[in-house]
């Protein structure tokens, strides 16, 4: 569909089907919330919703209206807070004021908020009145990694539509269609946990095996806070690599949890290392470790430098391993 990545897969998602059905019935809600960490899928979902809303053929991907959506030249479609960590109350005031104005082209107005988790309580509260007293033909589509980051008052005024996980074979086919070699596509899909974003990340990593080995080595050898200094300067925690490293930590801990539950381990080639890590990190420790990784991602987004994030990560992992030892 005119270069829209993963369109076929996202069209099969429950989120797209639910919103598309609302549009077809003339019941397009004034606000939706899509909880998902799969940012690539969310990007595609936003475009598909906009095409569905404006295209006379229901989102053909070929007409002038769809083209304007795809190249982001549609004046009544706004993409907000993309790549922005501090969306202010003043900026939200501009949005709510704009929402009350007549559409430039006389039809619907769509406001897409990606990374809504980055909005503090104050700008979320500023949006609340508009959600409580919506304008006609004005629609807000919000997305965040988790509903836990959104104010309960906001959640109570939106229709929640989970995006869900994508089947492994669909993920593999999507990556191959996107130009990823079949063997890497299979690897990415196998490790993706149903996320198109994560699948591509793992599939295109040229040094995947080495990177996994480096992370498992750290988790195996990190005995206490005294070991932190030994690892914090490692290349895997450099500015260019730390985001990928955090993804690797998430993957390894996912495998550790699978080992605890007696489920197949996605990193079968590292089964021995995973078992060793599982013996040191209890189920409770794995849960807390994942929370630590989420905090590290938030710190990176807040422009905390890579060394400080790595220091925090390793100190906290040593702490939760000790605190939650079984």
Whole-number pLDDT of residue 317: 93
pLDDT digits (tens, 9 = 90+) for 211-224: 889 999 999 998 88
Listing DSSP states for 65-84 in one string gives HHHHHHTT--TTEEEESTT-
- Mean predicted confidence (pLDDT) in 78-99: 86
- Say what the pLDDT of residue 85 is: 65
Residue 324 pLDDT level (bands cut at 50, 70, 90): confident
State the pLDDT at residue 3.
Answer: 66
Q: Is the pLDDT reported for residue 57 higher than 60?
A: yes
pLDDT band at 99 (very low <50, low <70, confident <90, very high): very high
Cα atoms in the Cβ-side hemisphere of radius 13 Å centred on 190: 14
Smallest CA-to-CA distance from 316 within 266, 238, 253, 271 is with: 253
Instruction: Say if domain 205-323 classifies as CATH 3.40.50.
Output: no
pLDDT digit string, tens, across residues 248-306:
999 999 999 999 999 888 888 888 999 999 999 999 999 999 999 988 988 887 778 88
pLDDT digits (tens, 9 = 90+) for 125-175: 999 999 999 999 999 999 998 888 899 999 999 999 999 899 999 999 999
Q: Is the pTM of this model over 0.75?
A: yes
Mean pLDDT of the chain: 90
What is the β-pairing status of strands 109-113 and 138-144?
parallel
pLDDT band at 45 (very low <50, low <70, confident <90, very high): very high
What integer pLDDT is reported at residue 169 of this predicted model? 95
Cα distances from 208 to residues 37, 165, 271, in angstroms, run 21, 23, 16
Q: What is the pLDDT of residue 84?
A: 59
Starting at the edge strand that comes first in sequence, how are the strands of the sheet with 159-160 ordered? 77-80, 109-113, 138-144, 31-35, 159-160
- Mean pLDDT, range 298-324, rounded to an integer: 86
Rounded to whole angstroms, the Cα distance separating 262 from 277 reads 15
Instruction: Give the pLDDT confidence score for residue 2 in this predicted structure.
Output: 56
Q: Per CATH, which fold does 7-160 belong to?
A: Rossmann fold (3.40.50)
Q: What is the pLDDT of residue 326?
A: 57
pLDDT at 103: 92
Q: Where are the domains of the chain?
A: 7-160, 205-323
Secondary structure of residue 313 in the 3-state scheme? helix
């Amino acid at each position: 569909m005119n270069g829209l990545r993963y369109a076929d897969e996202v069209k099969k998602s429950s989120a797209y089907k639910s919103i598309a059905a609302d549009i077809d019935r003339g019941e397009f809600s004034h606000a939706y919330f899509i909880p998902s960490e799969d940012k690539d899928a969310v990007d595609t979902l936003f475009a598909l919703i906009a095409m569905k809303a404006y295209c006379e053929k229901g989102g053909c991907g070929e007409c002038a209206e769809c083209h304007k959506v795809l190249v982001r030249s549609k004046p009544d479609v706004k993409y907000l807070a993309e790549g922005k960590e501090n969306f202010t109350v003043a900026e939200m005031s501009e949005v709510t004021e704009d929402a009350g104005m007549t559409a430039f082209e006389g039809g619907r107005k769509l406001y897409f908020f990606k990374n809504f988790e980055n909005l503090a309580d104050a700008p979320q509260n500023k949006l609340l009145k508009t959600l409580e007293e919506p304008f006609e033909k004005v629609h807000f589509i919000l997305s965040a990694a988790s509903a836990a980051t959104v104010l309960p008052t906001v959640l109570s005024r939106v229709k929640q539509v989970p995006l869900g996980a994508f089947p492994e074979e669909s993920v593999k086919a999507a990556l191959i269609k996107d130009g990823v070699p079949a063997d890497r596509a299979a690897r990415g899909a196998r490790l993706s946990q149903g996320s198109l974003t994560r699948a591509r990340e793992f599939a295109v990593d040229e040094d995947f095996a080495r990177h996994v080995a480096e992370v498992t080595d750290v988790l195996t050898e990190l005995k206490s806070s005294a070991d932190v200094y030994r690892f914090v300067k490692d290349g895997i925690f450099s500015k260019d690599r730390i985001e990928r490293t955090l993804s690797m930590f998430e993957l390894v801990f996912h495998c550790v949890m699978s080992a605890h539950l007696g489920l197949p381990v996605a990193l079968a080639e590292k089964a021995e290392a995973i078992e060793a890590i599982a013996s040191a990190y209890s189920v409770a420790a794995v849960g807390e470790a994942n929370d630590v990784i989420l905090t590290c991602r938030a710190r990176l987004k807040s422009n905390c430098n890579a060394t400080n994030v790595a220091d925090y990560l390793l100190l906290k992992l040593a702490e939760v391993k000790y605190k939650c030892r079984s």
